[in-house]
Structure 1
Amino acid sequence: MPLYSIHGQASLEVRHLVLDYNGTMATDGTLVPGVAERVRELNLPPHELSVHVITADTMGTAQRQLEGLPCDLSILGPAEQDKAKLDFIQGLGSAQTVAIGNGQNGHLMLAVAALGIAVIGEEGAAAQTILASRVVCRDILSALDLLLKPKRLIATLRC
């Protein structure tokens, strides 16, 4: 379980990584190049994160695009997606979860996660989701690299 010690804040002990799919991991339904390799690396020692993808699957491509990756996929129904994502994070244990997203339906999960990261990819990001996050990254690769290269995360969050 990765431990991120950040000066002036409680240490983060992370077990789970929860990712939105469309707009976060994917553009127009296609996985962003470089994401698969990073997800695999985060699943291995020393990180050993349990990776979960929770999505409305707007483009209907998530299952095919994520095939073979070490992650669990949950596809949401059309109603109350923000609440469903919140419930999912709380079920895992929000204090041990990093959540990454960009859309309006992700703002609650980013707010309750131990570390909420908003990404601004090709689709942009909902303002409420940005405000609910602790960190904002220009894209998913930068967000995943914060976890793979913890000194970047420490530099961003230290007091």
Structure 2
Amino acid sequence: MAGTYSFDIVSDFDRQELVNAIDQAKREIGSRYDLKDTNTEIELEANSITVKTDSEFTLEAVLGVLQTKAVKRQLSLKIFDYGKVESASGNRVIQEITLKKGIDKDLAKKISKLIRDSFKKVQASIQGDAVRVSAKSKDELQQVIQLLKSEDFPVALQFTNYR
């Protein structure tokens, strides 16, 4: 009797890696000649990052450093949702970066429809902010993973609980 195999599709990131990336970015900003005297602050909150700096030009450089450090720590840039650049007192600018986590209902429906249309013997069910995919064959599950990796979704997808 053959059992069924399954895995979960989630959108998540390693928070400790994000903390490390921000820490490295702060150190580089503090030591770089062009950014040293900009009084740049990067604050990590529960669901967002706030960047405060001297000008929009400096903000672009700071975001470049932050993105480089995130990529080096295997964090997808799709977890960052950049807010509007706002003016603050004394010619300074602030930008809020929301951290995207979880798969929303519309995207989960789109993913499960794509799986159902492409593979007849594979089931996809939405469970909260994740999608559970199950099939009788491990090979079909591997094909589903390859299909989803080839698509360009607005969030970073990970495949967990493969059993």
- TM-score of the two chains, using structure 1 as the length reference: 0.26
